[in-house]
Amino acid sequence: MSSAIEKDLVIVGGGPAGLSAAIYAQRAMLDTVTLEQEAVGGQVVLTSDVDNYPGVPHTDGFSLVDAMQRQAEDLGAQIVMENVSSIARDEETGLFAVKTTSCEYEAKTVIVAGGATPRKAGFEGELEYAGKGVSYCATCDGMFFRGREVFVIGGGNSAAEEALFLTRFAEKVTLIVRKDHLRAQAAVAEKLNNNPKTSIRFLTSIVGVSGEGSIQRITFRNNETSEEYAEEFEQGVGVFVFVGRVPASELVANLVERNGVGYVVANERMETKTPGLFVAGDVREKPLRQIVTAASDGAIAATSASAYLGHPVDS
Ligand SMILES: Cc1cc2nc3c(=O)[nH]c(=O)nc-3n(C[C@H](O)[C@H](O)[C@H](O)COP(=O)(O)OP(=O)(O)OC[C@H]3O[C@@H](n4cnc5c(N)ncnc54)[C@H](O)[C@@H]3O)c2cc1C
């Protein structure tokens, strides 16, 4: 006899997508558990200002997701701190075995809402100086560089936007761009060019950082000539890395279609190619990764799971 805990629905991830799915699953009366490995609220917990969630003119990320969690729990949602280590589907029964570090669930449906984590740039000292100068979150760590110099690695929209955000604190912000052009939207690029605190070093990479407890030396490479040169800084500087994100899709790699950079491909009902397996939020391929779209995905995924279980919801 299996000792697995039986559920109608297991939601992997307790960020906005997972919490929204939990709210809709409760209202559809599905026996559901939401599993979160780190912090309920996901990436939003680390976001100091949220100005673009409709109906909430201005808030900090923690308050917003705390309200989502309370709303879900008030409706009876069960949220458990567990790391999901594997998901497999029994072809005969169609049931999913969802293993965590301490137990196993047998689920009729699963929603994968694990989000995405920042990609590393790969320079020497990157991991060693994480939290001591290397950061992946301008809103979280920008204030530690008030009046100082910071470098931002990346040429896309988020790098450009975060560089602009960092000008609120830093004295000087230099964007380090591997190629000879930016991939940011024209309007963002224009703002960067017009900001007296920002400059851009094209065709440049950071190859290493070092220092006594903070970053006091950076080695750069000119990607055109391959020449390397170092710069020293009296005060510790910041190196903010925005070179993309890695979606938490490895868990379901064999069950879903993924695009070239690992995002899960789903249809507008959040259905993947595996019946009963749904996806929501930043982990899926989509044009806009925000709280509002994550919440929307979660609502649709839970509604689709309910329909899959024979309880369609009229909209
Ligand atoms: C610095 C920063 C600022 C931002 N500012 C804004 C903003 O102002 N407005 C806005 O709309 N959006 C903002 N965003 C984007 C927004 O945070 C995301 O779009 C949103 O959080 C996506 O929600 P999600 O639930 O899909 O993923 P996440 O928030 O990433 O949540 C996924 C959760 O799944 C968990 N998880 C992953 N794998 C497992 C596993 N195996 N087992 C258990 N749990 C797992 C993770 O721990 C995480 O808690 C910001 C993002 C960042 C990084």
Q: What is the pLDDT of residues 285-314, one digit of tens each?
A: 998 888 999 999 999 999 999 999 998 776
Residue 111 Cα distances to 28, 51, 59, 84, 302, angstroms: 15, 28, 28, 12, 8
Q: Which of left, alpha, beta for 23 (phi over 0: left; psi -120 to 50: alpha)?
A: alpha
Return the H-helix or E-strand segment holding 32. strand 32-36
Report the length, in residues, of the chain: 315
Ligand 1 neighbourhood includes 117 CB (under 6 angstroms): no
What is the C-alpha separation between 295 and 63, in angstroms, rounded? 15
Q: How far is the CA of 310 from the centre of ligand 1 (A)?
A: 30
What is the pTM (predicted TM-score) of this model?
Answer: 0.83
**What is the separation, in whole angstroms, between the first and last Cα of the chain?**
40
Ligand 1 neighbourhood includes 252 CB (under 6 angstroms): no
Ligand 1 neighbourhood includes 16 CB (under 6 angstroms): yes
Ligand 1 neighbourhood includes 114 CB (under 6 angstroms): yes
Ligand 1 neighbourhood includes 43 CB (under 6 angstroms): yes
CA 148 distance to own-chain centroid: 27
Read off the pLDDT of residues 209-219 as tens digits, 9 standing for 90 and up: 999 999 999 99
Q: How far is the CA of 11 from the centre of ligand 1 (A)?
A: 14
For the chain, list the domains and their CATH numbers: 5-117+245-308 (3.50.50.60), 134-241 (3.50.50.60)
Q: How far is the CA of 109 from the centre of ligand 1 (A)?
A: 22
Ligand 1 neighbourhood includes 125 CB (under 6 angstroms): no
- What ligand 1 atom has the least distance to the C-alpha of 41? 49
Q: Pocket of ligand 1, candidates 47, 100, 162: which has the most ligand atoms within 8 Å of its Cβ, to mutate? A: 47
Read off the pLDDT of residues 10-25 as tens digits, 9 standing for 90 and up: 999 999 999 999 999 9
Q: 28 near 303, Cβ under 8 Å?
A: yes
For the cut 80, the answer to whether the pLDDT of residue 143 exceeds it is yes
For the cut 60, the answer to whether the pLDDT of residue 1 exceeds it is no
Can you tell me the mean pLDDT for 147-167? 94
Q: In the prediction, which pLDDT does 113 show?
A: 98
What is the C-alpha separation between 89 and 100, in angstroms, rounded? 15
Q: In the prediction, which pLDDT does 34 show?
A: 98
pLDDT interval class at 2 (50, 70, 90): low
Ligand 1 neighbourhood includes 44 CB (under 6 angstroms): yes
Q: In the prediction, which pLDDT does 185 show?
A: 84
For the cut 70, the answer to whether the pLDDT of residue 144 exceeds it is yes
The pair of structure tokens assigned to 32 is 């559901």
- Please provide the average confidence, as pLDDT, over all residues in the chain: 94
Instruction: Establish how many alpha carbons lie within 13 A of residue 36's alpha carbon, considering only the half-sphere containing its beta carbon.
Output: 20
Residue closest by Cα to atom 53 of ligand 1: 43
